[in-house]
Amino acid sequence: MAPVAVPPTQRRFRTDWRRLIPLRAQLAQAVGLQRGMLLAGLVVIAVFVLVALFAPLLAPYGYAQLSDAAGNFGAQQAPSSQHWWGTTVSGYDVLSRTIWGARTALIMVIAGVVLSLFAGVLLGLLSGYFGGWADRVLVVVTDAIYAFPSLLLAIVMSIVISKGQSGLWTGILAAAFSITVVFIPEYFRVVRAEVLRVKSEAFVESARVIGASNWRIMTRHVLRNSTRTLPLILTLNASESILTLAGLGFLGFGIEPTSAAEWGFDLNKSVSDVAAGIWWTSVWPGLAIVLVVLGLTLVGESLNDLSDPRLRTRRRLVRSDVRGGPGTTDLDASGVPVAPGVPIAEDWVPRLPTDEDGAAEEATR
């Protein structure tokens, strides 16, 4: 029976669907340590997102729950079958607070990074494309914003908005606003530099000659070619936003425990427990912060290595003495396939002549 041919439209749809998988091209390009770092970071981020989304199902208790049918939980209770990670000094279940804290951190990342991303990209696009006095003013303002530490600005905004003690959304708003103000210059400078380079390309001049409007040129031609490095900056800023929220909670300017669970606040309340040998109240929230920030940093650093050809790991699928040998796929140092039948060196780097080579050449003469 002859195989059924797949229509071209279906084959095209399948190919386009595979291309929509996030970071698929980066995973295929990475090898060795780079691939290990990228996979480890993606796994940590995936677990973090899943825990945040399904917190009501995973947490055994509520983030502000102090008792159940058996009675009060009790303060500073050691890990047991009822409370796997023990209880805090206030009587909250540590496991439940840690799980619910992931949702608070995820909301913080979305609120802070997304706002700064849209504002910074828009300002950078307009400033780089039109230029003029507005461009010079924006450059000066964004350079001045770098003088403000993000944590100090977050403390000031927390006091102004909610008098230092805030609920879930007011605390997120205070931290997200400070993160937005601090992160906007980063996106602005990156996008502006790319726009200045792209707008002088031949295809942009061609679009301008045929009568395309400025808005169409900016959105269809310039913007699409000016956002290559934004995923790298986004991952690094996401980790910094989590640290800022945790810093606010640790200093006492974060979210109240009855409004939401927050890892920095739990660390603040567990400082006195460490000296008394009560380790479980501080280990788990601190470990959650470290793991999430580490996962985001691993993804960001891996994307940085892959975007820079100078830091990209040489790729060699099968070691052979001749390129294009049986069952081999040979790539050069930049990852480009090479012609078969060309001898290759042991480590892909041309070997410099040595004194032994010179003596052997003289002997043959």
DSSP 8-state code for residue 225: G
For 341, the domain range is: 315-365
**Amino acid letter for position 317:** L
Q: What is the pLDDT of residues 235-292, one digit of tens each?
A: 888 888 888 888 888 888 777 777 788 898 889 888 888 877 888 888 999 999 999 9
Query: Which DSSP category does 229 fall into?
Result: T
**Taking CA 169 as the corner, what is the angle to CA 281 and CA 42, rounded to the nearest 5 degrees?**
60
Residue 7 covered by a domain: no
Amino acid at 88: T
Distance CA 337, CA 329 (A): 8
- This prediction has a pTM of 0.72
Give the CA angle between residues 253, 258, 259 to the nearest 5°: 70
Residue 74 included in any domain: no
Judge if 250 and 330 occupy the same domain.
Answer: no
Whether residue 338 sits in one domain with residue 292: no
Indicate if 33 and 103 belong to the same structural domain.
Answer: yes
Tokens representing 334 are 């930049």
Residue in this structure with the two tokens 């726009």, named with its chain if needed: 195
Q: What is the CATH number of the domain that holds 205?
A: 1.10.3720.10
Write down which residue in 264, 288, 307 finishes a domain.
307
Lookup: tokens for 164: 């230092």
Residues 300 and 338 in one domain: no
The C-alpha atoms of residue 108 and residue 260 are separated, in whole angstroms, by 12
Residue 327 lies in a domain: yes
- Residue 10 located in a structural domain: no
Residue 63 lies in a domain: no
39 and 162 in a single domain? The answer is yes
Q: How far is it, in rounded angstroms, from Cα 45 to Cα 215? A: 36
Q: Return the DSSP state at 67.
A: E
**Residue closest to 113 by CA, chosen among 227, 233, 223:** 233
Residues 246 and 344 grouped into a single domain:
no
Q: What is the largest CA-CA distance in the chain?
A: 97
Same domain assignment for residues 107 and 239: yes
Q: Residue 10 has which token pair?
A: 């279906």
Q: How many domains does the chain have?
A: 2
Task: State the Cα angle at 274 between 263 and 101, rounded to 5°.
Answer: 10
pLDDT single digits (tens) 44-64: 999 999 999 999 999 888 888
> Kind and range of the H or E element at 72?
strand 71-72
185: amino acid identity, one letter: P
Q: Distance of CA 130 to CAs 34, 226, 359, 364, Å?
A: 39, 15, 66, 69
* Element housing 295 (H / E): helix 280-307
15 within some domain: no
Both 250 and 331 in one domain: the answer is no
On whether residue 68 sits in a domain, the answer given is no
Q: What is the pLDDT along the chain (365 residues), one digit of tens a residue?
A: 555 555 554 444 444 555 545 565 666 666 667 778 888 888 999 999 999 999 999 988 888 888 888 778 888 888 888 888 888 888 888 999 999 999 989 988 888 888 888 888 889 888 888 888 888 988 888 888 877 777 787 787 777 776 655 666 777 777 777 778 878 888 888 888 888 888 888 888 888 888 888 888 888 888 888 877 787 788 888 888 888 888 888 888 777 777 788 898 889 888 888 877 888 888 999 999 999 999 998 888 777 766 655 555 444 444 444 444 444 444 554 454 555 444 444 444 444 455 555 555 555 55
Both 116 and 149 in a single domain? yes
* Of 290, 307, 324, the domain-final residue: 307
φ, ψ for residue 265 (rounded to 5)?
-65, -40
Q: Is residue 32 part of a domain?
A: yes
Do 216 and 263 fall within a single domain?
yes
Is the domain of 223 the same as that of 303? yes
359 in the same domain as 241 = no
298-334 residues labelled b (16+ CB within 10 A) or e (exposed): bbbbbbebbeeeeebbebbeeeeeebeeeeeebbeee
Token pair for 279: 């380790």
